Structure 1
Amino acid sequence: MADTVADFVLRRLRDWGVEHVFAYPGDGINGLVSAFGRSGDRPRFIQSRHEEMSALAAVGYAKFGGRVGVCMATSGPGAIHLLNGLYDAKLDHVPVVAIVGQTARTAIGGSYQQEVDLHSLFKDVASEYLVDVTVPEQLPNALDRAIRTAEAQRAPTALIIPADVQELAYSPPEHAFKHVPSSAPSRGWSTAVPSSDDVERAVEVLNAGKRVAVLVGQGARGAGDEVRQVAEVLGAGVAKALLGKDVLPDDEPWVTGSIGLLGTKPSYELMRDCDTLLIVGSSFPYSQFLPEFGKARAVQVDVDGRFIGMRYPTEVNLVGDAGASLRAMLPLLRRQEDRSWRETVEANVAEWWGTLRRQSFVDAEPVNPMRIMWELSPRLPEDAIVTADSGSAANWYARLVRLRGRMRGSLSGTLATMGAGVPYAIGAKFAHPERPAVALVGDGAMQMNGLAELITVARYYEEWSDPRCVVCVLHNNDLNQVTWELRAMGGAPKFEESQVLPDVDYAAFARSVGLGGVAVSDPADLGPAWEEALTADRPVVLDVRCDPNVPPIPPHTTFEQAKATAEAMLRGDPDAWDVVRRGVATKVQEFLRG
């Protein structure tokens, strides 16, 4: 039997080394689904509970696996469901290829069932490469370009293949007019290096600095050693954008942690007091958390010239690979002999970790959410992968989880979508089945889609060489981040009709689908509960009843600002006095010692 187009698509994916396709079936991709059966399920069809979860799992796979993620969906509603995950890939610069079905060509334009204008639907999210495959001869070029473009541009791309085309006999492009062939799958990207003149100009700025700050983002991943050497020579402190949290370990005394609203006080102080700023692989958008304009000279390094010099008035911009650019600088950098700035940074970092410890042990009802993360950090396996969902879980992950060694961590950084934590962890486990994963998730995200994806975890975990996958649910029956945004940004009290969640026993649900489930309502039980979950023979849901009224206070918040928020809340917030009491008890820890 001759290969169909669908057979060829899967064969070409195998040629590219694609091992998993995150997908959900439907009649718009029946040809492809049948081809999976004929191929012996190679690549592996990983069935999610919803197409959005397929796309988000593909993003997690690409983020942690370092290779393209592939997702697949049927026409109409299936394709529409992919969008949120694909936008997550676009905004966080992650290579993902979506393969989408479409109504048969004979019905297109006839208002047929599930016919959607997919080109209009995907033209923004897959703007780097989007193509309709309408004849077999467009392959392999179309699929190869989708993969190459996704990897080269670190972006989502999409192939739309009508249902009838999938079932046609495959015929390759000919050596003929208006046919476009393609070369064999291969990867071999050059490493961009800035010109020597630009490197010298950048070094001149950095050598002149007395108080140098470095900000790293995910573009510096893989260049951690070079960043460490630059910081040592210049006596600099290093802050991390949220997507760059795993670029450097948090146990380095000069690493100040995350920056911004979810950031740390030492990062705020680093940016406030520096006279020189080096930005490496980051397009951190909140300029109010960078040095005041005109106060610091600045150099930026980024491999993508489209995102350089756009957040801060940088004096020198180096377009090039982070590691290669820093290696070009290092021989020219002059060691800063006065280490007083570095000593100040390290003292601020040490003091801040002490503050966080005290804040984590402030009494709460029943469990302080900060303590959940504090108890986790020393128990994390050295090769753990940590995912966090959007919401207050992201606050505590950003500030309190101490990554070290080979640990990796990420979340939906720019889109900040709810519901990414669990599918990210699933994608991570298929990329690295030998490594444990931990997902930090709010109960709102669990009710949105995380509970359903526990079924996916239960279905596949026995295939993972290390079955450990812990989903920690911050169970406070509140859409907590939005509640705090209402209070702090809108000056409005909590509106219970929109914010309060139904109560669910997440540990019991996990047990009902064959996973482990551990419920915690006493802070003294947190440590043993983490140890039980991280040594189990199967994935575990850690269901922690925590206090919604422990405030995620930004590190730069003054008592005057906190007082203004408290006064706004006292005008009708149902939890006002409890919030004020918790807020004061938490904030005062910054002014204590020992």
Structure 2
Amino acid sequence: MLERLRDWGVDHVFGYPGDGINGILAAWTRTGNKPAFVQSRHEEMSAFEAVGYAKFTGRPGVCMATSGPGAIHLLNGLYDAKLDHVPVVAIVGQTDRTAMGGSYQQEVDLLSLYKDVASAYVQVVTVPEQLPNVLDRAMRIAVAERAPTAIIIHGDVQELEYTPPAHEFKMVPSSLGLDRPRIAPDDDAVRRAADILNAGNKVAMLVGAGARDARDQLVEVADLLGAGAAKALLGKDVLSDDLPWVTGSIGLLGTRPSYELMTGCDTLLIVGSSFPYSQFLPEYGQARGVQIDIDAEYIGMRYPNEVNLVSDAAAALTALIPMLERKSDRSWREEIEANVARWWDTMQMQAQVESDPINPLRLFSELSSRLPIDAIVTADSGSAANWYARQLKFRGNMRGSLSGTLATMGPAVPYGIGAKFGVPERPVIAFAGDGAMQMNGLAELITVQRYWQQWTDPRLIVAIIHNNDLNQVTWEMRAMGGAPKFEESQSLPDVDYAGFAAGLGLAAERITDAEKLGDAWDRALAADRPTVLDVYTDPDMPPIPPHATWEQFVDVTKSVVAGDKDSWGFVKQGVKTKLQELLPRRNR
């Protein structure tokens, strides 16, 4: 099995040991640890590390766990892979065949358990002759379907002498490798799409992770159409934020220019995105729609498009470009660029709003201009995702990701670890909330300590938003439920994260003064080892949605102020933050 993984180019397997995979672990001692076994602190982290590895390398991630509880622990990370369309192969143990059906220790019906998360392919290996075909199919399907697959191997089967499938009846031979086709667009569909886009006066583009390999074509199409482009959260690194017509993220965590782009357009071009929040797209009937996506399963499901073009994004846009007419009226583009310029001014002003102790927006703002051109940025779910989406300007070859669709807590640090094994020469910055750190990030710092000296570039910076509050849910309760903060569920115990990291031998800083943030980032980016920045932030800084009006902000405040012990703090900070959108700009 390990030889076959090596033949597939697998260089790392993220896992945790257990007696259900003892036979496989024993084989590792005979291989010189090739592929390298990366031991996490918990199987869920192994799965997240495989997802991070796959997201930032484009190659399938592989994770491994023992039978029963180990296999169960992988599930959350595998669902993250499934919902974000990432190729991951899970290899899990199972109790011996002789014990099956006997309510034996760690006997779980893994085939049933995995049939949803690994719906693309899950299979049990019961004899050695199955192995090549099952493993090859798991790898191929994971890549082809951009999905998690799973292999279940009984403990006693792991101990059997390997014999390859024979050339006889009911034996299934197999082969390595997969050369993926570039799915070309239908010519008639391209012409119909071009007619719609040429007829529009105010064209908006929405780009997602599926357009990552079509950056040059996206820029040319936007220029011809005088369009602006909003980015789905998983597509934040597809287009540079230095482009003046790129409006940034879209949705509840998005920007006001993206909201204005969608409410003002008369034509919508969606490329490589299945962004689910249709309330942030144009009103039905407002805009004519064209969508390009490589997967017919996910096309045409968010907006009533006139053309749903199934194709590789780059191939479709390349075919489309010669048919597009350059729009001479650039007033729509000029309006978009003015909105974008004002927005970035607003973000800078909001980051400078005084807070006690530190405005969390400033933590991100101070990094943005300092980001290395080859940086990889990961973020946790929660308030970290808000500021990641809005405050960081990506440019050049920067990459970034988070748990986009599952929106689970805890992946920022293990994503970063997976990235460091996949592209060890690149610096990685992980933004995590203190809730996520207490859930699993602290333990995974031990994994960082164990392996960091293997990385070509030792820089993995974990920046912690330390506010002793499960802040995103606190704000969701206030804004969506009209309810005050519920202390018993929302408040966190205080932890010395920097002290914990320093005890592991990592570089660590405790920061309570906003004026020291810039220097702290400089030191972390120049460090010769991983760094933890324990940044004490103000929980009362509101993640104001891009479409929120002043009247809505006042209404929310009135609904919760009476029962919320932090009412004065969030009212004061909310007013100061919202005002930055309303203040006049020089030369704007």
Alignment of 1:433-512 (within 5 A): 433-512=424-503
State which of 510, 523, 530 in structure 1 corresponds to 2:521: 530
Does residue 94 in structure 1 map to residue 86 in structure 2? yes
Misfit runs of 4+, over 6 Å:
none
One-letter amino acid matched to 1:546: T
- 1:47 paired residue number: 39
Post-superposition offset of 1:580: 0.7
One-letter amino acid matched to 1:494: K
Post-superposition offset of 1:187: 2.6
Q: Distance in 2 between matches of 1:411 and 1:348?
A: 27
Q: Distance in 2 between matches of 1:44 and 1:248?
A: 34
Post-superposition offset of 1:570: 1.3
One-letter amino acid matched to 2:218: V
Alignment of 1:141-540 (within 5 A): 141-183=133-175, 185-540=176-531
- 1:540-569 Cα deviation digits (max 9, x unpaired): 000100000000000110111111110111
- 2:130 paired residue number: 138
- 1:188-227 Cα deviation digits (max 9, x unpaired): 1000012100100000000001110000000001111110
One-letter amino acid matched to 1:473: I
- 1:109-151 Cα deviation digits (max 9, x unpaired): 1111011000111010000000000001112000000000000
Q: Distance in 2 between matches of 1:252 and 1:37?
A: 51
Q: Secondary structure at the match of 1:579?
A: helix
Q: Distance in 1 between matches of 2:99 and 2:216?
A: 57
Q: Distance in 2 between matches of 1:436 and 1:385?
A: 6
Q: Distance in 2 between matches of 1:68 and 1:570?
A: 49
One-letter amino acid matched to 1:322: A
Post-superposition offset of 1:167: 1.0
Q: Distance in 2 between matches of 1:345 and 1:563?
A: 28
Q: Secondary structure at the match of 1:22?
A: strand
Instruction: Determine what percentage of the aligned residue pairs are the same residue.
Output: 69
Q: Secondary structure at the match of 1:441?
A: strand
- 1:448-486 Cα deviation digits (max 9, x unpaired): 000000000000000001000000000000000010011
Post-superposition offset of 1:251: 1.0
- 2:102 paired residue number: 110
Does residue 567 in structure 1 map to residue 540 in structure 2? no
Post-superposition offset of 1:171: 0.6
Q: Distance in 1 between matches of 2:583 and 2:243?
A: 23
One-letter amino acid matched to 1:346: E
Q: Distance in 2 between matches of 1:252 and 1:543?
A: 33
- 2:118 paired residue number: 126
TM-score after normalising by structure 1: 0.98
Q: Secondary structure at the match of 1:358?
A: helix
One-letter amino acid matched to 1:107: A
- 1:486-506 Cα deviation digits (max 9, x unpaired): 101111000111111010111
State which of 60, 74, 89 in structure 2 corresponds to 1:82: 74
How big is the alpha-carbon RMSD for the aligned residues of Structure 1 and Structure 2? 0.5
- 1:376-433 Cα deviation digits (max 9, x unpaired): 0011111000000000000000001111111000000000000000000000000100
Structure 1: runs of 5 or more not aligned: 1-8
Post-superposition offset of 1:593: 2.4
Q: Distance in 1 between matches of 2:188 and 2:563?
A: 61
Q: Distance in 2 between matches of 1:83 and 1:206?
A: 42
State which of 13, 18, 24 in structure 2 corresponds to 1:32: 24
State which of 524, 543, 546 in structure 2 corresponds to 1:555: 546
Post-superposition offset of 1:577: 1.2
One-letter amino acid matched to 1:162: H
One-letter amino acid matched to 1:127: S
Structure 2: runs of 5 or more not aligned: none
Q: Distance in 1 between matches of 2:143 and 2:330?
A: 41
- 1:5 paired residue number: none
One-letter amino acid matched to 2:504: V
Q: Secondary structure at the match of 1:221?
A: helix
One-letter amino acid matched to 2:236: K
Q: Distance in 1 between matches of 2:81 and 2:8?
A: 20
Alignment of 1:535-546 (within 5 A): 535-546=526-537
Q: Distance in 2 between matches of 1:310 and 1:186?
A: 33
45-54 vs 331-340, which deviates more?
A: 331-340
Q: Distance in 2 between matches of 1:208 and 1:167?
A: 66
One-letter amino acid matched to 1:177: F
- 1:5-47 Cα deviation digits (max 9, x unpaired): xxxx100000000000000000000011011111000000000
Post-superposition offset of 1:571: 2.3
Post-superposition offset of 1:186: 1.6
Q: Distance in 1 between matches of 2:470 and 2:54?
A: 29
Q: Distance in 2 between matches of 1:289 and 1:590?
A: 20
Q: Distance in 1 between matches of 2:124 and 2:453?
A: 38
Q: Distance in 1 between matches of 2:370 and 2:502?
A: 23
- 1:251-296 Cα deviation digits (max 9, x unpaired): 1100000000000000000000001000000001111000010000
TM-score after normalising by structure 2: 0.99
Q: Distance in 1 between matches of 2:131 and 2:557?
A: 62
- 1:10 paired residue number: 2
Q: Secondary structure at the match of 2:429?
A: strand
Q: Distance in 1 between matches of 2:422 and 2:35?
A: 13
